[in-house]
Amino acid sequence: MRLSSILIITLFTFVSCQSSLAPVREDALKPVVITQPTPHDTDDPAIWINRLDTSKSLIVGTDKDTDGGLYVYNLKGEIVHKSIPLQRPNNVDVAYGLVIGEKSYDVAITTERETNKIRIFSLPDLQPLDNGGIEVFAGETEKDPMGIAIYTRPTDQAIFAVVGRKSGPSGSYLWQYKITDAGNGQATATVVRKFGSFSVKKEIEAIAVDNELGYIYYSDEQVGIKKYQADPDAKDDAEITVFGKKDFKADHEGIAIYKKTNTTGYILVSNQQANTFMVYPREGFNNNPNTYPLMAEIPVSTIECDGADAIHVNFGGKFSNGLFVAMSNGRTFHFYDWNHIQNLIDQNYGLKK
């Protein structure tokens, strides 16, 4: 079946589902690309940059099911790779330069919920590098790993996975693992930190890390977006701030960070039941890095989005100023031209910087 035919069927499915799902606004931004559908249930994307040729960059996405997996798309939305079968992969993130033996790998790291593991795959070929998976939340009664985000420390390029779960205790809901060479051609992970307050209102799934500024953000659903230090060696597990507390219809979901420079840009958070994204200044406001006024609410065609990613790279063609990717109900991901989002921020919405 041609991709155009698949997209027509997918769009028809979206329309037919509108009676039971959050409605798309008439002024919603339309995606430039809708991916081929996965067999089960998309949940979270991550963008991998091909540094030799950015036009050949890829998007990695989870298909969340007992017989699920990681799917890799080109910038046309076509599926070009699929991982080995995984048991309910939930969220995924990408890191560069993981050294194993004498080789350096770009990797996709995902949570495998039904096995209580994280899985590590090389990019772009999706070969496993984890000896069958690495257990997380060992010794806990509440496991079920869901959210994941990768912190690469600028000072030494050490790679850490921040992992969340379906439910857990306040104060240690998230665990942070250092990813290293196991010495047998595979990767391993060692827990280095347990942190994260939890309201007990719903759950914590969406996590994002800002490497350059050194912060972790996560969505405590129906409460707000919480901010913490990213470096475990800082020995600072105090919550820095909570923002977006009154801006959302219900659930705070996927978080994407668009970096205009090393220190400026936007934090975009899925307002799931409204089919919009709330936009906040990455660097804070009025010289206060912990003040996050709402800059914009972007209506999108994406339906009830769980996960998103954004990047400021010239991919050529339709994405000359970067790319915003969001999961959508209907087993797809939507690719948006960042220029369209930037225009809405600049021309139609509140706070001017």
Domain boundaries, the chain: 60-243, 256-353
- Contact yes or no for 77/33 (Cβ under 8 A): yes
pLDDT digits (tens, 9 = 90+) for 209-220: 999 999 999 999
Task: Give CA separation, 94 vs 49, 108, 199, 209, 337, in Å.
Answer: 9, 5, 28, 11, 21
For the chain, which ranges sit under pLDDT 70?
1-19, 348-353
**pLDDT for position 17:** 44
Distances (CA, A) of 86 to 83, 127, 145, 320, 338: 8, 13, 13, 34, 32
Query: What is the pLDDT, as a whole number, of residue 163?
Result: 98
For residue 72, the surrounding DSSP H or E stretch is: strand 69-73
Q: Are 89 and 80 in contact (CB under 8 A)?
A: no
Q: CA-to-CA distance for 280 and 298, rounded, in angstroms?
A: 11
CA 264 vs CA 46, 243, 258: distances in Å: 20, 18, 9
So what's the pLDDT on residue 350? 52
Pairing between β-strand 79-82 and β-strand 33-34 as defined by DSSP bridges: unpaired
* Four-residue CA torsion sign, 69, 189, 95, 208: positive
How many Cβ atoms from other residues are within 10 Å of residue 184's Cβ? 10
Tens of pLDDT along 154-177? 999 999 999 999 999 999 999 999
* Model pTM score: 0.93
Burial class of 169 by CB neighbour count within 10 A (0 to 12, 13 to 18, 19+)? middle
Q: Which CATH architecture has domain 60-243?
A: 6 Propeller (2.120)
Residue 348's pLDDT is what? 64
CA distance 53 to 170: 44
pLDDT at 219: 98
- Residue 22's pLDDT is what? 85
DSSP tag of 53 = -
Distance CA(28)–CA(21), nearest Å, equals 15
pLDDT score of 20: 77
SS3 for 10?
helix
**275 contacts 303 by C-beta, under 8 angstroms:** yes
Largest CA distance in the chain: 55
Closest CA to 256 of 241, 238, 237, 277: 277
